[in-house]
Each structure stands twice: as structure tokens, then as C-alpha cells.
């Protein structure tokens, strides 16, 4: 989720809709353990269907740099012999910014790679902007693994989106070379875009060691409940899609529990007035979604309030979300409860049940927005019926003028209509489905979908099939009308 000031404050939603005043102007054009320098042999026997990342990272707060060593043990499962591996180097987008001037980092960032080896054999990587190709010395057959190692140097941007530094805090998102996904459609090495979240990843295991300056601590995707201010610190986490971290010496925490999961709210000085309310909302939201959709499977989740880059109201990562502390309302500034519970709903829709966020962004953002609205309606007594009705009318007009649907890829959307088409219209769709088959049945659909596709990557077709099975009738025409405008 990004740039959601317009999506999750009603007034900002309406402003965004109003911006689309000349619909005819929309066109298709808009549309094993390792430490630095180690050369360990690959494990004698690796039985896994998930990659294993082992990262040893040192943070220099004076240079705004992370340096270290990464080893990735590839999963054994594949459908054909593999001759190369692709990685995303997302930090390179901040070296030569090609997007809007208003979102340009005030200080550039990048990631440099060196000493790449496959099972101890040096290989020559090829890097083009944010994509790195690593050749394998020999084709990797089905049922075999390989260990790819490399050194890296990450220069952190200032004012970058998601990857950012703010005073004594570094927000590390997409901060390491990330394996590209290879599935039935081939390698997913799609280019970066500032619209939406262009990050499609696979379930992986992580073992990450941080070497941090005195006084700093780490807040991460992993289970770091017992970690205090010390260095180095090693954090492990299995079966997650990504590994994000916040390195800081400024944050304080409010701790609590939702069922068996520890829920932490991290805040800065000046946020004391909203921190307790947002922590209560985080605990309440985790309980609410767990009861509605199914148990959250991890031991901890962190909510970090802070400046994660231009236009970022909030952002989701496995086990860690960020949020702004306050939102503007008609009555003035209020705690950003809706942003917090939205990002936490992503723990279900994206975190546990995955989807291709580039190809089908509605599938996590739409279900997450519906989940958020459902929480705000039941727990905060906020009724969004009027907003959803107006959004439905406006999205119909936009489709008629520009041809975009709610089931397009990121690259088809102008920024001005992305939130409306991908977030709000699918939420309106789910509310309309409740009107047709009942709220209990819709919740049962989401529970069944969550149970069936945990730790997997689902598609729109998968969701429609589950919905039809639970409803006891073919809902394809319903979803065709709402998602594809047919």
C-alpha cells in the first residue's frame, strides 16, 4: 500500500475522485550461516521448497550505508533445469530517479554487488538498473539446490519511498538483493513503478545478523521479542515473503498481545498523544481479523509510526507495518486508526495469502480495504455506504472513458485513479456481495480462501472459485461485472 492519504481519509478519497474531472484525457498511455567474506561449502543436504536467505549486515549511521554478505540457498523444487537466477535490486531506482520530481529523493541511493559465487565458483553477474542476472556454472536440475553468495554495499537514500533515513532511524525495505519469482509465466522481472507496490516475492526463510551502532536497536519482520540494545543480533524467521527492518535509537514501544501474538506499537517523541489509541487499535484489529478470517500464524507483529518516504501513509511487510500517526478529518487531526488496521489486514491478504501484486493488485488491496472498512464499521461505527456508492458510479464513468478495470496490472493505471479502481471499487464489490448472499457467507468465503491459500500465491480465478463453492452458486458473472465491467 502506498500513497494512501487519498484512499483512507474520506475527504481525501473524494478529492482524488474529483481530480479525475476530464475523463476523456485518460488514455492507454497513462494507463547455511555466513559472515562477511565466508566461503562455506553448500550444505550437504538441503530439503526445502523455500529459498533460505542468510544475511550479515553492518550499518554505518554516519555514512548512511549497509554493507555485508548475503548467501541464498535456492529451493529444490522446479519444473525444469535452471541455468540462471534473477534478483531485484530495487535500491538502484533511487540512483537515477526517473519518476515525478515531487517524489525524487533529496539524496540518491543505490546497491552495489561484488564477489558473486555459485557453490564457491566465481561467476560474472549482469546488472541492468534494478535487475541482476546470475548465471549458473551448470544447469541446476530438478531436486537439486545451489548456494549463491555475494557481497554488497547499500547506500541509503534520503526521502526515498519505503527505503529511507529519518534522523536516527533507517527504514530498510527491499534493502537486499531479492530473488525474482519464476512461475508458469516465466521470470518476473517487471520494472519498478511508483504506482502501487511492484514487489512480487515468494515464501522464504531468513537468518539475518545486524551489526549496529551503540544505542541502536532493530525492529524486524522476524521474531525479535527478546532482542535488546546489543550488537551483533541475529534474527530468524521462516516462511515469509520478505524481510523488512527498522534500525533506530529513537523509538519507544507500547507492548501488548492479541491472542498468542505480541503486538508492538513503536512511536517517536511528539506522538505520545496518539500512540496509546493506535496501539489499542492494533491489538483490536489483530483480534478482529483473527476471529473473522483465521488465526495469525506468527508470534509477533510490529507497527512503526514514522516517515517512510514521500507519499507513504502506511506500508505493509510481513510481521511489520508502518503508518502515519495522524490523519486529517473534518473535525481536525485524529489518530490514524484506519491506516493502522488497513496495514494489519495486509498480514492476511498479502502476508499469509499471497498474490502477484504487479499483475493483480486488487486481490490484496481490495480485500484489505474491505477488511479495513468492515473493522471501522463494526468497531468504530463509521459507515462508508455513501462513499462506496459514489465510488461505484465514478469508477463506472472512468471505465467507460478510459477502458481501465479493477483487475488490470499496475502499469495500466494512471496514478489519479489507481486507489479508486484497486482499493475502493473492490471494497464496494464485497459490500454488494454481502447484500446479495449475506454477511456471514461473505466472511465464510474469506475464511475458506485464507485456509486454502495460506503460504501460497492465489489468483483472481482462485478467489472466484472459492467464493462460488462457499456460496453454493456460480458467482463468476457477479465478479465479471464488478472487476472487469462485463
- Please list the active-site residues: 343, 423
The SS3 assignment for 48 reads: coil
- Closest Cα to residue 118, out of 157, 83, 66, 153? 83
Contacts of 393 (CB under 8 A, 6+ apart): none
Listing DSSP states for 322-390 in one string gives: EE-SEEEETTEEEE-HHHHHHHHHTTTBTTTBEE-TTT-THHHHHHHHHHHHHHHHHHS----HHHHHH
Is there a binding annotation on residue 62? no
Provide the b/e sequence for 296-309 (b: ≥16 CB within 10 Å). bebebbbbbbbbbb
Calpha distance 425→413 (Å, rounded)? 14
Is there a binding annotation on residue 291? no
β strands within 268-324, DSSP E: 300-305, 314-317, 320-323
Is there a binding annotation on residue 342? yes
DSSP H or E run through 475: none
Calpha distance 428→431 (Å, rounded)? 5
- Closest Cα to residue 431, out of 471, 476, 392? 392
Sign of CA pseudo-dihedral 61, 311, 112, 37: positive
Tell me the C-alpha to C-alpha distance, in Å, between residue 103 and each of 175, 267, 307. 19, 24, 13
Listing DSSP states for 294-307 in one string gives: ----SSEEEEEES-
Binding-site residue ranges for Zn(2+):
342, 346, 365
Binding-site residue ranges:
342, 346, 365
Amino acid at each position: 500500500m502506498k500513497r494512501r492519504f487519498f484512499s483512507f481519509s474520506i475527504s481525501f478519497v473524494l478529492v482524488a475522485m474529483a481530480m479525475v474531472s476530464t475523463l476523456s484525457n485518460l488514455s492507454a498511455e497513462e494507463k547455511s550461516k555466513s559472515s562477511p567474506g565466508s566461503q562455506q561449502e553448500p550444505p550437504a543436504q538441503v530439503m526445502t521448497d523455500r529459498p533460505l536467505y542468510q544475511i550479515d549486515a553492518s550499518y554505518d549511521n554516519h555514512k548512511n550505508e549497509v554493507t555485508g554478505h548475503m548467501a541464498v540457498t535456492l529451493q529444490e523444487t522446479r519444473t525444469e533445469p535452471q541455468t540462471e537466477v534473477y534478483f531485484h535490486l530495487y535500491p538502484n531506482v533511487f540512483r537515477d530517479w526517473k519518476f515525478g520530481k515531487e517524489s525524487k529523493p533529496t539524496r540518491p541511493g543505490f546497491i552495489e554487488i561484488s564477489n558473486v559465487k555459485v557453490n564457491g565458483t566465481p561467476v560474472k553477474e549482469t546488472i541492468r538498473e534494478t535487475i541482476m542476472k546470475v548465471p549458473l556454472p551448470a544447469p541446476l536440475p530438478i531436486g537439486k539446490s545451489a548456494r549463491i553468495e555475494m557481497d554488497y554495499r547499500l547506500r541509503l537514500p534520503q526521502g526515498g519511498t519505503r527505503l529511507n533515513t529519518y534522523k536516527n532511524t533507517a527504514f530498510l525495505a527491499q534493502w537486499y538483493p531479492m530473488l525474482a519469482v519464476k512461475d508458469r509465466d516465466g521470470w518476473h522481472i517487471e520494472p519498478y513503478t511508483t504506482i502501487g507496490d511492484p514487489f512480487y516475492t515468494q515464501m522464504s526463510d531468513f537468518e539475518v545478523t545486524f551489526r549496529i551502532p551503540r544505542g541502536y536497536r532493530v525492529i524486524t519482520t522476524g521474531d525479535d521479542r527478546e532482542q535488546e540494545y546489543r550488537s551483533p543480533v541475529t534474527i530468524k524467521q521462516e516462511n515469509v515473503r520478505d524481510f523488512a527492518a527498522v534500525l533506530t535509537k529513537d523509538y519507544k514501544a507500547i507492548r501488548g498481545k492479541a491472542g498468542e501474538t505480541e503486538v508492538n506499537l513503536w512511536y517517536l517523541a511528539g506522538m505520545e498523544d496518539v500512540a496509546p489509541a493506535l496501539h489499542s487499535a492494533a491489538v483490536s484489529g489483530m483480534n478482529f481479523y483473527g476471529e473473522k478470517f483465521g488465526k495469525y500464524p506468527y508470534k509477533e507483529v510490529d507497527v512503526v509510526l514514522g516517515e517512510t518516504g514521500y507519499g507513504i501513509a502506511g506500508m505493509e511487510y510481513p510481521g511489520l507495518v508502518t503508518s502515519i500517526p495522524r490523519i486529517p478529518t473534518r473535525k481536525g487531526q485524529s489518530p490514524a486508526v484506519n491506516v493502522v488496521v488497513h496495514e494489519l489486514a495486509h498480514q492476511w491478504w498479502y502476508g499469509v495469502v499471497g498474490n502477484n501484486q504487479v499483475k493483480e493488485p486488487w486481490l490484496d488491496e481490495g480485500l484489505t480495504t474491505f477488511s479495513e472498512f468492515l473493522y471501522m464499521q463494526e468497531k468504530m461505527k463509521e459507515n462508508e455506504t455513501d462513499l462506496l456508492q459514489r465510488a461505484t458510479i465514478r469508477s463506472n464513468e472512468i471505465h467507460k472513458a478510459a477502458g481501465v478495470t479493477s483487475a488490470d496490472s499496475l502499469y495500466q493505471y494512471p496514478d489519479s485513479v489507481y486507489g479508486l479502481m484497486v482499493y475502493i471499487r473492490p471494497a464496494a464489490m464485497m459490500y454488494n456481495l454481502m447484500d446479495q448472499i449475506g454477511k456471514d457467507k461473505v466472511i465464510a468465503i474469506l475464511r475458506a480462501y485464507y485456509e486454502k491459500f495460506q503460504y501460497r500465491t492465489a489468483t483472481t480465478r482462485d478467489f472466484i472459485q472459492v467464493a462460488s463453492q462457499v456460496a453454493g452458486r456460480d458467482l463468476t458473472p457477479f465478479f465479471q461485472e464488478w472487476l472487469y465491467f462485463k
